Amino acid sequence: MTNIPTNQSNAHITFIGGGNMGRALISGLLANGFQAQQISAVEANPSTGIGLHRDFGIQVIAALDQIAFDFSKTNVVVMAIKPQDFNLVAKELNKKLKHASAPGPLILSIAAGIRIADMSRWLKHERCVRAMPNTPALIGKGITGLFADAAVSVADRALAETVCNAVGQSVWVATEKLMDAVTAVSGSGPAYVFAFLEAMQSSGEKLGLDSATARKLAYATLEGATQLAHNSDEHAGVLREKVTSKGGTTAAALEVLKQHDWHGALEKAIDAANQRGKIMGDELGKS
């Protein structure tokens, strides 16, 4: 277990929404030194709220109008809600964020596509960080892209990292438009990997392997190759070349992939996700 930094022992984190990603972050924070009394969640669904309290021992608040921030704490609000709900929730929350003698909470949004300018406008608040986690966070193996503008201090950035790193690791991007690239590469990325695994397993079955064996071979191969790449200083292209003997089976397979321009197809797919992210940001920010 990693102890939380001493300057964050006074932190209190309020989750707006207790769905899968919210649960993952809460679990990760508790596993990394935060105490249950440092975390609360606003969750309108009674059964979900009961589950959060039962599983984590945190305070669960049934509605936004029941929030009462303790401004003697270092407050963080994690917006773990659907993007289409962000506008209405933010406009209801904004009246709770102000205090005469203390800074309002740091807002950390994990809602896809919601831009800093829009969340700041709806919340009437400038201490905002935009985050894009991915689903491996559910098992503590996520990676999160982060962006904040100049209104967010170094200390606030460190606090945002602490929250996100509870379920994996994080990277900062220099400009907000790169958050669409983060979404395209890592946010949507697990689906590409699952599609690849699906194809590998299916191919093994067509060649005569039973389903369980084909699955085990495909999954273990991907996991092992990824770990090998992580533990090497060499570019993935160099590693590929090292396992490709001239005239061998690997070369035959890669030649087919080359003929079908699989590299270009994947680049086009990721670019399509990137472009869709831009469109979503435009659409979500209209109101």
pLDDT in tens, 74-100: 999 999 999 999 999 999 999 999 886
**Dihedral sign from CA coordinates of 69, 72, 73, 79:** positive
Residue type, 18: G
> Read out DSSP for 81-142?
S-HHHHHHHHHHHGGGS--SSSPPPEEEE--TT--HHHHHHHHT---EEEEE--GGGGGT-E
Listed by start position, the domains of the chain span 6-179, 189-273
Residues in the chain: 287
Read off the pLDDT of residues 149-183 as tens digits, 9 standing for 90 and up.
988 999 999 999 999 999 999 999 999 999 999 99
CATH superfamily of 189-273: ProC C-terminal domain-like (1.10.3730.10)
Residue type, 26: I
Tokens for 68, please give them. Answer: 């009462």
pLDDT of residue 9: 82
Class of the CATH-defined domain 6-179: alpha beta
| Average pLDDT for the chain | 94
Nearest to 226 by CA among 146, 109, 141: 141
pLDDT of residue 7: 53
Least confident of 7-21, 27-41, 229-243: 7-21
Determine the Cα angle at 60 with ends 85 and 106, to 5°. 60
* pTM for the model: 0.92
